[in-house]
Amino acid sequence: MDVGAYLSRIGYQGPTEPTLETLRGLHRCHLFSVPFESLSVHCGEPITLALPLLYDKIVCRGHGGFCYENNGLFLWLLRALGFRVVGLAGRVRNRFTGRLGPPRDHLVLLARLGGRGFLCDVGFGDGFLEPLRLEPGLEQPQEGGTFRLGLAGGVWALERLRAPGEEGRVLYTFTLEERELGDFAAMCCYHQNAPSSIFACKSFCSLPQPGGGRLTYMGWRLIATRGGARTETPLQPPEIPALLQRTFGAQLSGTLVPKDQDIQPPPEGEEMGPAPPQ
């Protein structure tokens, strides 16, 4: 871990002491600099959960990644800076099927500061921009929306609220059982190959935008969202690599094969959770 190179990669120039201020700054900088994407899957580059490989891919070669990559590397950075932080396993609510994914579907982080827990996640996509206090029922408004954590039977649920005080929409669930990066190896393989995984079914690359909104490449489209408005621009395959480089700073590792297939229901026998509350 070359901490200086990592901080340069995400454009962070603030203090590095293990404080909440530092954690917030690092979290935001990572989200705005490192895309949430599935490009390697569609460029024929297998993803292996080894920290030196993830560091080379994201810091040295300027790529992004999905949850195991972005959060796995961010966990390494935080520990190198002296934070008390662990990995946790989550199950994402698939926005296409409305159901929870298999166990260890998602890697999320928990940092401990001053006796309090703070949820961190730089590998989810359209989620929270700053760490959330691990406190059930607390509404936490921020630039990316208003979020709330629920707790029932030892299972936490992250919700995005339509408006403060109103009903929330579950984004994912998780427990506080500590996990290591290697615990997600099987699910990393699943997400690269399963027809019920968004990463296998869709080539995409996404970043939040300063001042609000999000810019996303998916398949043969560029999608911009801001303030509830959505615009789509069709793309021709030859122009996609240059657009990815120009718009997201994404360096392709090979020839991209665009893909935007429907996500299939999981095969019978694959463990899936019930549909979360809408």
Catalytic residues: 67, 106, 121
> Hey, what are 254's tokens?
């090979």
> Hey, what are 221's tokens?
């489209």
Spatial CA neighbour of 144 closest among 227, 216, 230, 75: 227
Name residues whose C-beta falls within 8 Å of residue 120's C-beta, 6 or more positions apart in sequence: 23, 27, 71, 74, 78, 85, 108, 109, 110, 111, 131
For tokens 């489209």, what's the residue?
221
Reduced to 3 states, what is the DSSP secondary structure of residue 183? helix
d(CA 171, CA 168): 9
**What is the residue type of 214?**
R
Q: Give the orientation angle of helix 3-10 with respect to helix 67-80, to 10 degrees.
A: 130
**What is the residue type of 159?**
E
At residue 58, what are phi and psi to the nearest 5 degrees? -85, -45
